Amino acid sequence: MGKSQRTKGAGFEREICHVLSEALGGKFTRNLDQVRDGGGDIMLPGYLIECKRRARISIYEWMEQADKSCNAEQKPIVIARGDNKDALAIMRLEDFILLLSRQIGGEQA
């Protein structure tokens, strides 16, 4: 991976951290030790986020990468954005259903 690709990826990770911080409150930061120690780009309680900004999207490869980096308590999420496209959050259907059930269950309680 060339320097410009690493710079583009790091910028996207910072952008996602900013979006998460604004939307959810708190401070979200990049995992700067990911190259040395492994792990995803952004760690959240219960989730590991892998950020990908590429012209071509390879969802399943990226999800496998994120899944391998998760510990037993984490669920993988890939946030990807193609050139001149909106960012997408990608997760397994079973994890999405669990997330929705917690949200909907909380609203009905």
**pTM, two decimal places:** 0.84
Triad 11, 14, 17: Cα angle to 5°:
155
Give the bridge partners for 44, in sequence order.
Answer: 47
Q: What's the pLDDT score for residue 106?
A: 64
Predicted confidence (pLDDT) per residue in 53-102, tens digit = 988 889 999 999 999 999 999 999 999 999 889 999 999 999 999 999 98
Task: Report the C-alpha gap between 70 and 109 in whole angstroms.
Answer: 31
Name residue, tokens 């999800």: 63
pLDDT tens profile 8-45: 888 999 999 999 999 998 888 888 765 545 568 998 88
Q: Which residue ranges form the domains of the chain, and what is each CATH number?
A: 3-108 (3.40.1350)
- Compute the distance between CA of residue 88 and CA of residue 79 in angstroms, rounded to an integer: 5
